[in-house]
């Protein structure tokens, strides 16, 4: 839809042809006052039509432009697709040609290498056969040498074993001879000689522990026990303890009977029988007929307890009845679990001290530190002993 230039001019300017107070369309005369009004209306109408025409022209232009752009875009897209299809076709053709070329090259290479591979396999088989032959010869030689070494080692081992057996036989003969000699010497010893060794050990231990006391041995064949121990405090004899040592394999009640008679004869406060065998049902520490039967390992600790009791009761100047009562209480304590625990503790600590003394040369400073702790523990145990004795004696004294 398009308008000519003259028609557009006539529509926009109706007075271009007719001038004056006449209607521009019918050419009829009109009043001047109406002319201006009509003229204004015509201008407004023409302006509206012009605006509408411009709007339609713009819409037509915009639509035609959009159609042209869409067509151009579609043409570009189609051209792009056609180009991509052409590229894919070219690639496919090139891939097919390349695959065909590779297949032909592979066939040609396989044909060329077949003969070479066959030659290489033949050469490899020949080398393996030669290597197998060399290995077989080497293995035979190695086996031969190993057998020679094995035979030599077996001969040396057999000779060494025979030598050791001979030496062992000689040593065994010497040991058997020495054992038989010791057995003959032991059979010659009497029961008194066997007991005398234990007596000597107890005597030496008492002398070393109670240096301020008077400790004497009773001569063999004389009346009384083996050892007489007089407790001395501040230069005065406070009381005495008698000892008898037995080194026997079986228990006899006559040991207690004799020692009790010796106690009464010597008027000693206590009697101790040191032995490794006990009456049936007893062990370590036992009291029978007012005689204390103890293991030699507990003798010194027990004597310390009894000596303290002797000194304290003497210092209190108690009557005979009070002394007997305190002795009874003391013996009850000796046979109690509390006393057994304390003695066991002292023994274990003493053994630990002895073990430390053996190891002292290897670790002096460490051993001294441990021994100090153990000595303090022993002192604490002795303190507990002292507390128990003082408790017994003190209670009896307050009761008297």
CA 106 → CA 8, 92, 101, distances in Å?
A: 83, 21, 9
Residue 325 CB: number of other CB atoms within 10 A? 16
Distance CA 302, CA 283 (A): 15
DSSP E strand boundaries for 124-275: 214-217, 227-233, 236-246, 270-275
CB 50 within 8 A of CB 12: yes
**Given pLDDT bands bounded at 50, 70 and 90, which one contains residue 12?**
very low
Give the Cα-Cα-Cα angle 326, 330, 333 (nearest 5 degrees): 140
Helix, strand, coil percentages, rounded to 5, for the chain: 75, 10, 15
Distance CA 179, CA 172 (A): 10
What's the pLDDT score for residue 17?
39
What's the pLDDT score for residue 339?
80
| pLDDT single digits (tens) 222-279 | 677 889 999 998 888 989 999 988 877 788 888 899 989 988 888 888 999 988 889 8
CA-wise closest residue to 253 among 233, 226, 277, 222: 277
Residue with tokens 């050419």: 27
Distance CA 240, CA 225 (A): 12
What's the pLDDT score for residue 231?
92
Gyration radius of the chain's alpha carbons = 68
Q: pTM of the predicted model, to two decimals?
A: 0.40
Give the Cα-Cα-Cα angle 243, 249, 250 (nearest 5 degrees): 85
CB 344 within 8 A of CB 294: no
> What is the share, in percent, of the chain residues with pLDDT greater than 70?
74
**Given pLDDT bands bounded at 50, 70 and 90, which one contains residue 45?**
confident
Q: If you average pLDDT over residues 132-161, what whole number do you get?
A: 74
**Given pLDDT bands bounded at 50, 70 and 90, which one contains residue 22?**
low
**Which residues share a beta bridge with 228?**
216, 242
Distance CA 140, CA 35 (A): 145
Q: How many CA atoms lie within 13 A of 12 on its CB side?
A: 12
Distance CA 205, CA 229 (A): 12
Distance CA 278, CA 20 (A): 172
CA 145 to chain centre: 50
What's the pLDDT score for residue 272?
92
| pLDDT single digits (tens) 310-366 | 888 888 776 666 777 788 888 888 778 888 788 778 777 877 776 776 666 666 666
């Amino acid at each position: 839809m398009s308008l000519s230039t003259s028609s557009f001019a006539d529509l926009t300017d109706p007075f271009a042809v007719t001038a004056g107070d006449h209607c521009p369309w019918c050419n009829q005369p009109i009043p001047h006052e109406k002319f201006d009004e009509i003229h204004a209306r015509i201008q407004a109408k023409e302006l509206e039509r012009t605006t509408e025409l411009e709007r339609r022209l713009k819409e037509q232009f915009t639509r035609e432009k959009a159609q042209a752009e869409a067509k151009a875009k579609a043409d570009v897209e189609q051209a792009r697709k056609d180009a991509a299809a052409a590229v894919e076709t070219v690639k496919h053709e090139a891939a097919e040609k390349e695959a065909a070329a590779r297949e032909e090259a592979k066939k040609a290479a396989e044909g060329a290498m077949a003969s070479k591979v066959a030659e290489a396999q033949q050469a490899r088989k020949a080398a393996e056969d030669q290597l197998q032959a060399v290995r077989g010869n080497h293995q035979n030689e190695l086996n031969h040498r190993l057998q020679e070494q094995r035979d030599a080692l077996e001969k040396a081992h057999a000779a060494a074993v025979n030598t050791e057996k001979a030496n062992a036989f000689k040593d065994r003969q010497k040991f058997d001879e020495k054992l038989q000699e010791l057995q003959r010497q032991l059979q010659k010893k009497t029961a008194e000689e066997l007991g005398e060794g234990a007596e000597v050990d107890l005597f030496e231990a008492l002398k070393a522990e109670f240096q301020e006391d008077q400790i004497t041995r009773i001569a063999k064949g004389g009346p009384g026990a083996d050892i007489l121990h007089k407790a001395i405090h501040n230069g005065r004899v406070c009381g005495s303890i008698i000892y008898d040592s037995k080194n026997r394999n079986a228990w006899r009640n006559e040991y207690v009977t004799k020692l009790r008679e010796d106690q009464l004869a010597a008027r000693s406060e206590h009697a101790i029988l040191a032995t490794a065998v006990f009456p049936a049902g007893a062990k370590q520490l036992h009291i029978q007929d007012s005689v204390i039967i103890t293991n030699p390992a507990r003798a010194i600790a027990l004597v310390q307890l009894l000596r303290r009791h002797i000194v304290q009761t003497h210092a209190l100047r108690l009557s005979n009845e009070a002394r007997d009562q305190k002795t009874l209480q003391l013996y009850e304590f000796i046979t109690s679990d509390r006393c057994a625990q304390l003695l066991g503790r002292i023994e274990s600590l003493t053994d630990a001290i002895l073990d430390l003394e053996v190891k002292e040369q290897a670790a002096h400073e460490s051993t001294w530190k441990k021994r100090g702790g153990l000595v303090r523990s022993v002192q604490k145990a002795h303190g507990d002993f002292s507390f128990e004795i003082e408790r017994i004696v003190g209670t009896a004294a307050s009761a008297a």
